[in-house]
């Protein structure tokens, strides 16, 4: 399991707690690794621990919210799962002898839509005049930005279907569209419910999003995807699917 990492120990512990709730086969060793900032728990550390345990195949689950993340691309390259990165990266190739089976990030999975609405539903008062606005990090890089937009717009539509709110939309921090989308829906006479599409709470959810919306009226819980029992279920489904693919290929 690979996520970005943070100097905030609470951020790291929330990810670890989610992984600890997995119900996987007992003979399947699990390593939780981070791209950066968590000393002794980086990706190479995870690879080494699994290979020392004798594994020959490693299923990699990228715990990122969008396939538009440049990190998803560079990690796949650095693990040797693709020959070239789509964008230049400073991340060097890892030393890995096992065969890598690279998974997929959150994007618009139905379980993720349920998680978002579970966190936000308490703020809904008049669904018939409300707009849900998902806010994600986004990307300024061509190709990656489009993947961000595709995934988050589809996810917003799923949440709308679940919730019954009048409309659903999205805003990105990069390039910045968050404030303009809130203003637009307010002009339509809607109350805006803002939901952060982030794995765990941190600087962007606590500082950046409120700053971008300063002076506007909106409902915002600041609650992120974790903690939530459905994320371990999403991981389990992906692992089982990839295990079946590996077994069929044998």
**CATH 3.30.70 correct for 2-106+229-249:** no
34: three-class secondary structure by DSSP: strand
88's CB contacts (< 8 A; 6+ apart) are none
Closest CA to 218 of 242, 248, 190: 190
**What are the tens digits of pLDDT across the range 92-137?**
999 999 999 999 999 999 999 999 999 999 999 999 999 999 999 9
**What are the tens digits of pLDDT across the range 35-44?**
998 999 999 9
Which H or E element spans position 146?
Answer: helix 144-163
What would the DSSP string read from start to end of 97-125? -SEEEE----TT-HHHHHHHHHHHGGG-S
What would the DSSP string read from start to end of 184-229? HHHHTT-EEEEEE--SS-SHIIIIIHHHHTTT---EE----S-S-T
Q: Report the top-level CATH class of 110-220.
A: alpha beta
Kindly list the domain boundaries of the chain, sorted by start residue: 2-106+229-249, 110-220
pTM for the whole structure: 0.91
Mean pLDDT of the chain: 94
Examine domains 2-106+229-249 and 110-220 and report if their fold is the same.
yes
């Amino acid at each position: 399991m690979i996520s970005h990492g943070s100097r905030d120990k609470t951020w790291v512990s929330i990810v670890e707690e989610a992984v600890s709730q997995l119900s996987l086969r007992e003979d399947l060793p699990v390593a939780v690794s981070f791209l950066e900032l968590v000393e002794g728990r980086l990706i190479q550390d995870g690879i080494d621990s699994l290979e020392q345990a004798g594994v020959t195949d490693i299923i990699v689950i990228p715990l990122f919210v969008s396939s538009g993340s440049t990190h998803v691309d560079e990690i796949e390259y650095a693990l040797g799962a693709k020959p070239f990165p789509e964008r230049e990266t400073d991340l060097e190739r890892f030393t890995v002898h096992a065969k890598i089976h690279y998974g997929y990030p959150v994007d618009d999975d139905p379980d993720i839509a349920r998680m978002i609405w579970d966190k936000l539903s308490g703020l809904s008062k008049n669904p018939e005049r409300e707009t849900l606005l998902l806010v994600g990090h986004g990307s300024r890089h061509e190709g990656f930005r489009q993947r961000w937009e595709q995934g988050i717009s589809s996810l917003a539509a799923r949440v709308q279907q679940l919730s019954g709110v009048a409309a659903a939309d999205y805003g990105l921090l990069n390039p910045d569209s968050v404030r303009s989308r809130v203003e637009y829906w307010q002009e339509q006479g809607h109350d805006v419910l803002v939901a952060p599409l982030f794995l765990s709470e941190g600087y962007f959810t606590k500082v950046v999003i409120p700053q971008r919306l300063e002076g506007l009226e909106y409902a915002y819980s600041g609650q992120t995807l974790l903690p939530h029992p459905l994320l371990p279920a999403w991981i389990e489904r992906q692992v089982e699917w990839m295990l079946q693919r590996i077994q069929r290929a044998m």
